[in-house]
Structure 1
Amino acid sequence: MNVKNLGSGGDKVRIEEMRPRELRRAIGKHPLCYVPMGLIEWHGNHNPLGTDMTRAHYICVQAAEKSGGVVLPAQYIGGPGYSAYEGTITYRPKLVEEFLVQTMQNLEKMGFKIVIIFMSHCGPAQDQAFEQAVHRFTSSSKLKVALVKYQDLFDQDRSGHGGSGETSINMAMGMDVSLEEFEPTRPDILMYEVPRRDDAWDFEYPFEWHWKEDVAKNSSLEAGRKLILKATEKLAKLARQMESDL
């Protein structure tokens, strides 16, 4: 993952970098786990396909460095979004729900007492699957689970899917953004045929894409840094509050 400054050189927070005893110590200090959830999805021809999942992981790592805790790797198992758009990978909502339930089961087994699930990809199918998973699991568990949606952290960003907000954040994370490839009118999109399933959650979106703004003009590194800082502070504050309530 080509992302800058994921770690500050202090205590490790990324579980994939920890040895078993380091994980044990981390849980002993802060029994908190961040679960970054995103998607591989089209966000304009100027943005990488991993926009959602990379942002989720980046924000969670930055928050954990403030609050303590452990961060799982970025996940791209998510419900239907722009399923017919080039490069997009989506899963059935029932599979997404089961994945989350089993993830929480494993985290509880490991000794975590708090789980913060950051939904960097949202939408009707995604929201329903995540909410059902959390309800299903917490109804018979003492694990404290918070479900945090992208818009809860970036409520000041109204630029929309692939817009200047998401693009600016990608720039601040050091991702490979190409503003030269932004197409203000009728972007060139390869569309797939997506069959309708029984749950009717596949979105084909056969219409032409229309941007709300001039993304190339409105995106900036500084704007992205401000959005990331505000989101990180909100997430870390929530984590500290949940831990103080144990």
Structure 2
Amino acid sequence: MTTCYTESELTEGRQRIGELLPSLMAENVVDRRRGSAMAPEPGNRSSQQFTDLLRAEHLHALVVYRRGTGWYADLILRGLPVGIPTVLGTPASTPRKSRSEAEAEGRQILKSILCVIHENEHASRDRMPDTSQRYFWLHDTEIFLPVEIIEQIARGRQSLALTGGYVPGVDEVLALLRSELIAIFGQDRFMAEVWERVDTVRKEIVTFLIANLIAMGCPRYPEHPSQGSR
């Protein structure tokens, strides 16, 4: 999964999503009649918030692309509030071996998201998603921050970019977060019982880094919750 695509990849991705939508929607109708529709499980609060907000107008492109020797498929979303992930796709650490495998994965991601959108469009109006907070999964701990902080960070990043200032990307901020965790806990882990005793300045640095990641649409560190090294 990346956030950098060529214009041709995006154009092809928009065409692909338009071509797939009719057949996948029809397949989901059949699956619902059979009782086998495949919407994702709610999971934690961050994933629940994300899925509750999804609507058809957020679908933008399904990009299938190659980087190095591996293939990836990313479903790109647009129009979501600041701090909500806008890309779902193949993890960067586990590329697919062929274009056909990536296309099949992308098709399944889109089909699953269409199930979520259908449920949201037919859900009770009383089920309103909580939009006052944004969530981040740090190893095995879910952290939440007020949306006002995330919006302030996003505005600051945008202002810096417009004035030619340096704006760190996701990979750089993730590396800084990892360094802070090692400095605090002695390893790339998060331990809630130790966190309570951490000084205020260290806490503010970690919170600032997490807020930046959320503002960039990155919902977790590490990519897979079981990861982490000494």
TM category (shorter chain) comes to under 0.3
TM-score scaled by length of structure 2: 0.28
Select the structure of larger CA radius of gyration.
Answer: 2
- Please state which structure has a larger fraction of its residues in strand: 2
TM-score scaled by length of structure 1: 0.26
- Please state which structure has a larger fraction of its residues in helix: 2
